[in-house]
Structure 1
């Protein structure tokens, strides 16, 4: 099996999925690394899976094997009151077996998010998404300021990870800078995965 970076995300209106596609483009710029896109099903208010086992379209649902065997992980979610969405948290909460056996220790990880407004909790969402990654012993990667787009963006983009401002109607496309930062994040994690696997 070829080494891959798992891009694991939840997307309700499509903005986070669009970011995941750009991040995958960045991952695949690294020679010898593949991108694997996976999502998680929606959950009910009782935090139970509400979707069929196989999605109608888009990325497949993530399995524990997808997560255990990745060379790196990039976690994405829309902001929900400054935190990750419940479906992604529900999946992460089910990864205790991987925590117990140390499957993710020393693998690089990063986070990305999308919100309706410019100050919609992007940075707190990214930071809270990092907490379970730290518990798994992963090596966190953000976006360094050597990425010019961080200083030029008027929409999303933070040193904590890629971000996007989707607008009130969730209809704003990714800006040029947001795309650049998504791809830079994917490439960075892929290159770190290759170095850390050596």
Structure 2
């Protein structure tokens, strides 16, 4: 049975959508279905999120936390929480900021706590900082994050190829974890 990985993110200046696209490529490379949603349209996607085997949350880091729109989405899941609809689903997260550090860890921790409160199974990134991986041309995970995907937002539209390759690898990893863990009600 083919697994479905939903990627829901907030996108103000389009880098979240670019990362989500590359994560989705990695998911599909592993043989799972990737479905992406912008949080602006989250109300229409809640049923699909409930049916997904895994959910990857994405937000830019603003002032050391998730964007207000992401927090609003989280707060709107109280009925899902009450009914344990995401219990035992695989969860993961990604973020980016213009600064190399930008306090991105705090953003990923917010997503992690949110997923834990929903009873989800968190999957992080399994790469050492600047690790060379077969089939990828660049050193991946340059920020050195294990809890989730961190990337540096491009300045002047310049994308960081290592971040994009890390995003694809991350999608492949989450799909693999989802296929191994499965979903148990």
Cα 1:196–1:153, aligned 2, differ >3 Å: closer, same or farther? closer
Does structure 2 retain, via aligned residues, the 8 Å contact 1:108–1:138? yes
Does structure 2 retain, via aligned residues, the 8 Å contact 1:157–1:181? no
Q: Secondary structure at the residue paired with 1:193?
A: helix
Equivalences for 1:10-29 in 2 at 5 Å?
10-29=10-29
Distance, in Å, in 1 between the alignment partners of 2:179 and 2:101 is 35
Question: 2:151: which partner in 1?
Answer: 164
Report deviation, 1:140.
0.7
Distance, in Å, in 1 between the alignment partners of 2:144 and 2:21 is 16
Question: 2:59: which partner in 1?
Answer: 77
Does structure 2 retain, via aligned residues, the 8 Å contact 1:145–1:159? yes
Distance, in Å, in 2 between the alignment partners of 1:155 and 1:116 is 14
Distance, in Å, in 2 between the alignment partners of 1:84 and 1:6 is 18
The root-mean-square deviation of aligned C-alpha atoms, in Å, is: 2.5
Report deviation, 1:61.
6.4
Does structure 1 retain, via aligned residues, the 8 Å contact 2:116–2:122? yes
Whose helix fraction is larger, Structure 1's or Structure 2's? 2
Distance, in Å, in 2 between the alignment partners of 1:185 and 1:153 is 10
Q: Are 1:130 and 2:112 counterparts? A: yes
Match of 2:127 among 145, 163, 170: 145
Does structure 2 retain, via aligned residues, the 8 Å contact 1:7–1:73? yes
Cα 1:36–1:88, aligned 2, differ >3 Å: closer, same or farther? same
Does structure 1 retain, via aligned residues, the 8 Å contact 2:128–2:144? no
Report deviation, 1:180.
2.2
Question: 2:33: which partner in 1?
Answer: 34
Question: 2:176: which partner in 1?
Answer: 191
Aligned residues: 178
Match of 2:72 among 90, 108, 121: 90
Equivalences for 1:108-119 in 2 at 5 Å?
108-119=90-101
Q: Secondary structure at the residue paired with 1:63?
A: helix
Distance, in Å, in 2 between the alignment partners of 1:75 and 1:113 is 9
- Alpha-carbon displacement from aligned partner over 1:13-41 (angstroms, at most 9, x marks no partner): 0111110000000100122x100000112
Question: Gaps (5+ residues) in structure 1?
Answer: 42-52, 54-59
Distance, in Å, in 1 between the alignment partners of 2:182 and 2:149 is 24
